[in-house]
């Protein structure tokens, strides 16, 4: 297609989108072009946002912001404030020379809350919220078939990518699977709600049968992948089903890579009972039969 002439409206729209992205991720940026790699920098952003919320219409001066973040090193604070101001997360109350008071961007605060939820449960709560909103949207009489079709396409893409990630975790190391265990919480509820949404779309707009078929296949793939991952996770926990215990693979890796000193140090502080002088042969045979096998 021929290129459309660039208009002022198009430039302003693009800049608004970029500005929103910058504010969302300003709390995680080390500078204007990178994400932070030090959690302390995120804590500084959260402390600043909390201070702005308490200040209200009084807003904050530079000295007040530094006092709120007095527990953090000065160089960390200066770096964080420079980045947050550069990306628009913290701005002057009024754009005029010699402005001394600053305000925080609502977008940045919400973005940080969103990122924190993603860190807590791997996106489960966001998926529940998304499905709840989509339920309301497709039930709204004002929703068009195009809107419903786009919602189905977006959910299909999300479930496909989620299923692929779970499949990768199932085939990977048990350590990584345990780290990503929150992604397996509430999967049956998510699948059930998604199937209900699929049924609503198909009932209201039978013309979207092809799109709904793709969505249904993606939901089934997600359900199957989550069950397989959960099954492997449960197997790794043994008969105790205690995921806080280290899996066998972790011990094996440690034994193969650790030095003799570290191997010896593992048993420091452990006391082992001496074996009983006699065990009934039947009890030994029963214990062997009942022992879990990897």
Whether 68 has a pLDDT exceeding 90, the answer reads yes
The verdict on residue 37 lying in a domain is yes
Taken in order 76, 80, 86, 91, the sign of the CA dihedral is negative
How many angstroms separate the CA atoms of 216 and 155, rounded? 10
Q: Quick: pLDDT tens for 224-256.
A: 988 888 888 777 665 545 555 566 666 777 778
Q: Is position 276 within any domain? A: no
Provide DSSP, 161-223: HHHHHHHHHHHS-HHHHHHTGGGGTTHHHHHHHHHHHHHHHHHH-GGGHHHHHHHHHHHHHHH
Q: Give the total number of structural domains in the chain.
A: 2
Residues 111 and 216 in one domain: no
The answer to whether position 234 is within a domain reads: yes
For 178-198, how does the pLDDT look when each residue is reduced to its tens digit (9 = 90+)? 777 777 777 888 888 899 999
pLDDT recorded at residue 93 = 85
Cβ atoms of 124 and 113 closer than 8 Å:
no
**Cα(first)–Cα(last) distance of the chain, in Å?**
59
Parent domain of 175: 121-256
pLDDT in tens, 81-90: 998 888 888 9
> How buried is 211 (Cβ within 10 angstroms: 0-12 exposed, 13-18 middle, 19+ buried)?
buried
Q: In the listed set 115, 149, 183, which residue is the last one of a domain according to the structure?
A: 115
Q: What is the pTM of this model?
A: 0.59
Sign of the CA dihedral 218, 219, 220, 222? positive
- Provide CB contacts within 8 A for 93, sequence distance 6+: 59, 99, 101, 102, 103
The answer as to whether 190 is a domain residue is yes
């Amino acid at each position: 297609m021929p290129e459309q002439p660039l208009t002022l409206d198009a430039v302003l729209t693009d800049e608004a989108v970029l500005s929103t992205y910058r504010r969302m991720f300003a709390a995680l940026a080390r500078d204007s072009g990178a994400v932070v790699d030090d959690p302390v920098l995120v804590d500084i952003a959260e402390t600043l946002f909390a201070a702005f919320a308490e200040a209200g219409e009084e807003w904050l001066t530079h000295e007040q912001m530094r006092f709120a973040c007095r527990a953090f090193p000065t160089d960390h604070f200066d770096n964080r404030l420079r980045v947050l101001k550069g990306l628009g997360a913290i701005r002057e109350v009024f754009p005029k020379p010699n402005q001394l008071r600053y305000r925080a961007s609502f977008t940045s605060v919400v973005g940080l809350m969103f990122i924190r939820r993603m860190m807590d449960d791997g996106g489960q709560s966001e998926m529940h919220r998304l499905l709840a909103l989509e339920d309301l949207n497709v039930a709204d009489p004002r929703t068009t078939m195009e809107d419903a079709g786009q919602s189905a396409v977006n959910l299909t893409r999300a479930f496909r990518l989620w299923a692929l990630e779970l499949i990768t975790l199932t085939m990977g190391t048990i350590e990584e699977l345990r780290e990503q265990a929150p992604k397996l919480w509430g999967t049956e509820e998510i699948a059930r709600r998604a199937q209900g949404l699929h049924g609503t779309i198909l009932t209201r707009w039978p013309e979207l049968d092809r799109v709904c078929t793709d969505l249904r296949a993606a939901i089934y793939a997600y359900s199957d992948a989550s069950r397989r991952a959960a099954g492997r996770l449960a197997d790794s926990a043994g008969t105790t089903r205690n995921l806080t215990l280290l899996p066998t693979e972790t011990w094996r890796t440690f034994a193969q890579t650790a030095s003799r000193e570290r191997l010896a140090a593992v048993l420091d502080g452990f006391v082992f009972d001496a074996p009983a002088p006699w065990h009934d042969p039947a009890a030994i045979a029963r214990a062997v039969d009942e022992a879990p096998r990897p």
